[in-house]
């Protein structure tokens, strides 16, 4: 089975994540995409993250009704700091017959040399880097032979922008799946006190 692996904090998950997953799934003929939310990203303060159970609930809401998408809580099960190379090792243990592709944005590809054991990552999975059409990306030497660039339309959405909009009472209806917006509103995440259309 050909499996894509898409990690991140998903705080919150948004339509950009889904576009990246679907573009890569189509281009690479993947059988499924595994969404693996980070428990404690190495470069982020855990205290600033939405608690994992709520991020997990939002992720499940985002991919509901998409049979080719599967969420795995293995980084939460492992605990501690979440490193991609360790997650890929665990995925190989769980699914030894799978061929893995790590799905990342082009901005992450530029930073991958700073990740823990990038050469190990490249041994455990090929890397698909999504970039907007016409943008330049030079894969770092440590992973160059294992990278495929997937081009697609620009997706102007980020979790930080969504959090900012919610905080100031703006609408995020076009940025997140409706079910994710319902969780944000219900739990009043990111300072939310508004309806999804921003009118209340």
Q: What pLDDT is recorded for position 198?
A: 44
Q: How far apart are CA 141 and CA 123, in angstroms?
A: 13
Instruction: Provide the mean pLDDT of the chain.
Output: 91
Mean pLDDT of 177-196: 84
Find out whether 68 and 23 touch, Cβ atoms under 8 Å. no
How confident is residue 199, by pLDDT bands cut at 50, 70 and 90?
very low
Query: DSSP letter at 51?
Result: P
Find out whether 10 and 159 touch, Cβ atoms under 8 Å. yes
Q: What pLDDT is recorded for position 112?
A: 92
For the chain, the structural domain boundaries read 2-155
Q: What pLDDT is recorded for position 193?
A: 58
pLDDT at 63 over 90: yes
Check if CATH label 3.40.50.300 holds for domain 2-155: no
Find out whether 131 and 106 touch, Cβ atoms under 8 Å. yes
Does the N-terminal peptide bond of residue 12 adopt cis geometry, omega within 30 degrees of 0?
A: yes
198 φψ region: left (φ > 0), alpha (ψ -120 to 50), beta (else): left
pLDDT tens string 31-43:
999 999 999 998 8
Q: How far apart are CA 5 and CA 38, in angstroms?
A: 12
Please count the other Cβ atoms lying within 10 Å of the Cβ belonging to residue 38: 23
Q: How far apart are CA 132 and CA 122, in angstroms?
A: 23
Q: What is the pTM of this model?
A: 0.91
pLDDT tens string 104-159:
998 889 899 999 999 999 999 999 999 876 555 677 777 888 999 998 887 788 99
What φ, ψ does residue 43 adopt, rounded to 5°?
-105, 15
Query: DSSP letter at 50?
Result: P
The H or E element that residue 54 is part of is: helix 52-63
Find out whether 83 and 64 touch, Cβ atoms under 8 Å. no
What φ, ψ does residue 76 adopt, rounded to 5°?
-70, -40
């Amino acid at each position: 089975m050909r499996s894509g692996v898409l990690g991140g904090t998903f705080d919150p998950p948004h339509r950009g994540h889904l576009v990246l997953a679907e573009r890569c799934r189509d281009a690479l003929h993947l059988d499924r995409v595994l969404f693996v939310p980070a428990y404690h990203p190495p470069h982020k303060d855990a205290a600033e993250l939405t608690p994992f159970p709520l991020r997990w609930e939002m992720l499940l809401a985002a991919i509901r009704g998409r049979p080719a998408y599967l969420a795995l809580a293995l980084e939460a099960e492992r605990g501690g700091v979440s490193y991609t190379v360790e997650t890929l090792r665990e995925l190989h243990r769980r699914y030894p017959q799978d061929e893995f592709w790590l799905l990342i944005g082009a901005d992450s590809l530029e930073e991958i040399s700073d990740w823990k054991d990038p050469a190990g990552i490249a041994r455990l999975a090929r890397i698909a880097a999504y970039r907007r059409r016409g943008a330049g990306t030079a894969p770092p030497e440590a992973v160059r032979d294992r990278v495929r660039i997937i081009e697609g339309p620009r997706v102007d959405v980020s979790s930080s922008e969504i959090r900012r909009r919610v905080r100031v009472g703006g609408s995020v209806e076009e940025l997140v799946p409706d079910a994710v917006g319902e969780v944000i509103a219900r739990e009043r995440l990111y300072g939310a006190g508004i309806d999804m259309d921003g009118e209340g």
